[in-house]
Amino acid sequence: MTIIRRLLRPLVRLLRDGPDSGFANVETVEVAPDPVLAEGGAPAEVTIEVVTSGAALVEGELVAPDGSRGALRFDEVERTLFDERWEARHDLGGDVRPGTWRVVVRAGDADAERRFEVGTRAAWRPSRITGFGLSPDPVDEGSPLLLTGRLEASPDGGDDWTGLAGREVALIFRADDTLVRQEAARTRTDRSGGFTVTVTAEESGFWSAEFRGDGREAGDAGDAGDAGDAGDAGDGGAADLGDAGDLREAWNLREARDVARTGSTRSAEVHSTVRGAGAVTRIAYSASPKNGKRRRTATHKGTLVVRVKPSGQPARWDPLPQQTVRLWFDPAGAGGFSEQGTVTTGSQGKFTLRKKVPSTGDWQVRFESPAPSQRKSCVSPVRRMTAT
């Protein structure tokens, strides 16, 4: 174990040393439970989980429906070579008022927001995803991977569960050695609450299924800012509950108006092993300043690494020097990326480019491997930059 730590220490410094707070990114913000059920004076605790990259500190606030604010204290609970996970817990109190709350977080010059609901058991019903699994496992790279499960809800909050029809479910992927969960596909449940999705196996990692609650489709995670775009909104509120016939069938109730809104849920993660030729590569990338005037000069920098697995030793990530990476830009609403420049990685796999920001839009770095059978191609996370 001591030898492994000595091998990892230089790469950790390589990926993390140098960037100031302007190069931190907020990757995701998650709130659990959602909704928070508060009634009868009982404690109403909420847990906020934030995943960042390149951050040394995370700050945040809770914003109540009336606009009042309270500070959150985030502690780092996990760290990988590529990202960090932070957690804050807060008791809203037994007399908290129902409504839509917001979590606002900051890391360096990056910020993000997440909305969540506070309600009563009479207004919300719990949900769960059962039987989530994947096949085949292991699977060959480029082959179909089948994901299945069933979305259920409890009409009275008790032990009786029934399938929830016509709801949108997001399929979430988290690559090995990272903490960031990313949406990979969407589907809708059938009349029994079941869902089946076929995706293309590309990389080993963890899959889960997520239902984001009534009134919020899978594309609307309640986020804004660097944590992700809100995506397509649902029909809103309890209107997104299907027709009266489906409701009577699903809930065995006499009137559709008796159906409460359904809370969010996510399945346990299931690992998928993908077999393929070529070592996995990855780009740690950020840009700064993220906000400012049009035509300002922004600095894009990062590190290209490759996953190697020496015989009889644990896998590790090594710098990948003397490789060409390309910077791409997609203006907001343009619907397509265009190449903005190229650079060759240095002896430690690092690269830096400086480009003017023509408008608000998304930036990405791509590596096209000249020898895919030896090393795979890869793309960096997308970084949004705004211009005024």
How confident is the model over 327-362, as pLDDT tens digits? 999 997 777 899 999 999 999 999 999 999 999 999
Q: What is the pLDDT of residue 216?
A: 57
Per-residue model confidence as pLDDT tens digits over 140-149: 999 999 999 9
Residue 39 confidence class, pLDDT cut points 50, 70, 90 = confident
Q: What is the pLDDT of residue 21?
A: 57
Candidates 315, 281, 270; CA nearest to 139 is 270
Percent of the chain exceeding pLDDT 90 equals 70
Q: What is the mean pLDDT of the chain?
A: 85
Q: What is the pLDDT of residue 245?
A: 42
For range 42-51, the mean pLDDT: 91
Percent of the chain exceeding pLDDT 70 equals 82
Per-residue model confidence as pLDDT tens digits over 292-334: 999 999 999 999 999 998 888 989 999 999 999 999 999 977 7
Omega cis (within 30) before 43: no
DSSP 259: P
Give the containing element (helix H, strand E) for 329.
Answer: strand 324-331
Q: Is the pTM of this model over 0.85?
A: no
- In the predicted structure, residue 41 carries a pLDDT above the cut 80: no
- In the predicted structure, residue 247 carries a pLDDT above the cut 90: no
Q: What is the pLDDT of residue 242?
A: 41
Is-contact 248 185, C-beta < 8 A? no
- In the predicted structure, residue 225 carries a pLDDT above the cut 50: no
**Residue 227 vs residue 74, higher pLDDT:** 74
Q: What is the pLDDT of residue 270?
A: 98
All structural domains of the chain: 2-119 (2.60.40.10), 124-274 (2.60.40), 278-387 (2.60.40.10)
- Cβ burial of 66 (10 Å; 0-12, 13-18, 19+) is exposed
Per-residue model confidence as pLDDT tens digits over 86-130: 999 999 887 788 899 999 999 998 999 999 999 888 888 899 999
Candidates 230, 164, 176, 166; CA nearest to 207 is 176
Per-residue model confidence as pLDDT tens digits over 161-192: 999 999 999 999 999 999 999 999 999 999 99
**Residue 227 vs residue 24, higher pLDDT:** 24
Distances (CA, A) of 71 to 35, 58, 89, 114, 139: 20, 12, 11, 15, 46
| Cα 285 from chain centre | 16
Scored b (16 or more CB within 10 A) or e, 341-375 reads eebebeebbbbebebebeeebbbbbbbebeeeeeb
- In the predicted structure, residue 18 carries a pLDDT above the cut 70: no
Candidates 155, 148, 145; CA nearest to 130 is 148
Q: What is the pLDDT of residue 83?
A: 96
- In the predicted structure, residue 220 carries a pLDDT above the cut 70: no
Q: What is the pLDDT of residue 317?
A: 96
